[in-house]
Amino acid sequence: MNLTDSILAALERRWTSFAERIEITEPSKPWEAIATLHTSPERKYHNIEHIHDCLEKFDSWPNKPADKACDSIELAIWFHDIIYENTRADNEDYSAALLTHFLRGHPLETEAVALIMATQHKETSGMRSEEIICDIDLSILGSAAEEYQRYADAIQQEYDWVEPEMYREKRCDVLRNFLLRENIYHTEHARSHWQDQAKINLQNEINQLESH
């Protein structure tokens, strides 16, 4: 069993248990979509390993919010990248729509949709659940140097349809925008664990891209 198969098996068990606890009817249908879409071969980073990593980060999050908010965050993690096509800018809208397709009328639907939309990383200040999911989504920026390099390489592979010089220019713009922020992360937990390393990683990647 390879790593992806092992992760899929573990996540299927987790999804089944989670779906039973929050009372999702026919949980096999959303699971099939989660598993199929996140293992598409063109997904080098926004894949099932990313979902697994986000869930692990959430498991270890200190002082989680109340139960319903906690369940909404987990549900949103499962779906936040379920639709991912990097030629378009409305993936979050379609990911939220797919959640609604499977869970229309569920008590967590509205909040989970809002959390998915928050992963556009625009304005989440003061909204605790939104801050948590956004920081988890960007936690890779503050990973160890080798892991960050694998992430950077995977992102470049996802954009292999872009002319290399254009990719380097646009990618540098994205990375600089993160560095221009007063804080890359919203929560104290994320800032204390990932922010210093994230700044190093981002600058190192900019230097690599500019060296070409």
Residue 135 lies in a domain: no
Q: What is the pLDDT of residue 58?
A: 98
Same domain, 93 and 10: yes
| Cα 34 from Cα 92, distance rounded (Å) | 15
Residue 128 lies in a domain: no
Residue 127 lies in a domain: no
Same domain, 112 and 167: no
Task: Please give the mean pLDDT across all residues of the chain.
Answer: 96
Q: What is the pLDDT of residue 66?
A: 86
Distance linking the first and last C-alpha atoms of the chain: 39
User: Which residue, 64, 87, 121, sits at the end of a domain?
Assistant: 121
Residue 88 lies in a domain: yes
Residue 61 lies in a domain: yes
Q: What is the pLDDT of residue 126?
A: 65
Same domain, 107 and 150: no
Q: What is the residue range of 194's domain?
A: 141-210
Same domain, 109 and 9: yes
Model confidence at 2, in pLDDT bands (50, 70, 90)?
Answer: confident
* Residue 138 · residue 101 · CB < 8 Å: no
Same domain, 116 and 168: no
Q: How many CA atoms lie within 13 A of 94 on its CB side?
A: 11
Quick count: other Cβ atoms within 10 Å of Cβ 14? 15
Q: Is the pLDDT of residue 4 over 90?
A: no
The predicted model gives 27-43 an average pLDDT of 97
Distances (CA, A) of 117 to 66, 73, 131, 134, 197: 21, 12, 12, 10, 26
Q: Is the pLDDT of residue 87 over 80?
A: yes
Task: Out of 2-16, 18-32, 157-171, pick the least confident.
Answer: 2-16
Residue 129 lies in a domain: no
Quick count: other Cβ atoms within 10 Å of Cβ 121? 14
Same domain, 77 and 146: no
Number of domains within the chain: 2
Same domain, 74 and 154: no
Sign of CA dihedral 113, 117, 118, 119: positive
Same domain, 113 and 171: no
Model confidence at 54, in pLDDT bands (50, 70, 90)?
Answer: very high
How far does CA 130 lie from the centroid of its chain?
12
**pLDDT per residue over 160-212, tens digit each?**
999 999 999 999 999 999 999 999 999 999 999 999 999 999 999 999 999 98
Q: Is the pLDDT of residue 102 over 80?
A: yes
Residue 136 lies in a domain: no
Length of the chain, in residues: 212
Number of helices followed by number of strands (H, E) in the chain: 11, 0
Same domain, 62 and 151: no
* Residue 81 · residue 43 · CB < 8 Å: no
Residue 133 lies in a domain: no
Q: How many CA atoms lie within 13 A of 178 on its CB side?
A: 25
